[in-house]
Structures are given as C-alpha cells and as structure tokens.
Amino acid sequence: MSDPTPTPTRPSVYTGKATPDAAVDRGWLLGHFKEPGDPRYSEDVEIKWGVHPKGEERASWVRGESRTALQVLISGRFRLEFPGRNVVLAEQGDYVVWGRGVDHSWYAEEDSVVLTVRWPSLPGYRADEEPEAESDDQSGRTSAPKPV
C-alpha cells in the first residue's frame, strides 16, 4: 500500500484493493471523510465499493438528498427503492442515476457488490445501525425508518 501523504518530491498516489480498503470506512474509498492530504480525500465526489450480503438493507431512508448519485452493479442482484418506484440491478453493468431531492433506500436481493459514485461529498447522511424515529440532523436533512 502506498503512503497516502503527499510531499513536494513525491506526487499524490495511492494504490489499494477495493474490498479490504472499503472495509475500513463502511465501503467508502474516497470522499470528505478521508484525512486532508490523503489522495482519497475529496469534497467533490465520493466513491464506495459496497459489498452487501443477501438480505442486507439500508438502516433508514435518505431524505432530503442534496447529491447526485450513480450506482453500478458489479455482481449479485441489488434493489434501489425510490418513492413510488423500485429499480432492480440484475446484470453486471446495470446502473441507475438519481439526482438531488430524490429520497432512496436499498436492499440486497442476493450477495452483491455495487460501485457507488456520489457528488458532491457532504457529511450528514450516515444511516444509524438500527432504525430510529424520525430526527433532524444539523443540516436539516431527516432520516426515517424504512416504510413497510
């Protein structure tokens, strides 16, 4: 693994392996949550290598989305849930794009690997480990338990 700290004589280069690197940060490989100075730090974009066992689902819906996202199926079968519509990624390379203001959640119908790209990279969207009652974070966004 490369030293992620750039120096004037050594350019910012980082090499890694998606699965073990993703395990360190809940799947996220690049974004605002990395240390400034690390080549993987970005306020412009986030990239996630999501490895999801069959039956795993997002703890709560993302509400008040202010980012754009692209999700590409690498393997498995993965369902994205949007108000009034579900999208199933079933074949390698299937993808979906959604924009600002689109609430969403997800469910792994089979063991799945998905690549997610979101922009910009913003704090305040982490889902709690267990669903809780609706609550506002400091940014004004809300996360609510997944409707049944």
Query: Which pLDDT belongs to residue 64?
Result: 86
Domain chopping of the chain, boundaries: 18-122
Q: Which fold, 18-122? A: Jelly Rolls (2.60.120)
Compute the distance between CA of residue 98 and CA of residue 83 in angstroms, rounded to an integer.
12
Query: Which pLDDT belongs to residue 133?
Result: 33
Query: Which pLDDT belongs to residue 123?
Result: 81
Compute the distance between CA of residue 44 and CA of residue 55 in angstroms, rounded to an integer.
31
Query: Which pLDDT belongs to residue 65?
Result: 86
User: pLDDT tens digit string along 18-52?
Assistant: 999 998 888 989 999 898 989 999 999 999 999 99
Structure tokens at 90: 């079933």
Q: Which of 5-14, 78-87, 130-139 has the lowest mean pLDDT?
A: 130-139
Statement: the pTM of the whole predicted model exceeds 0.85: no
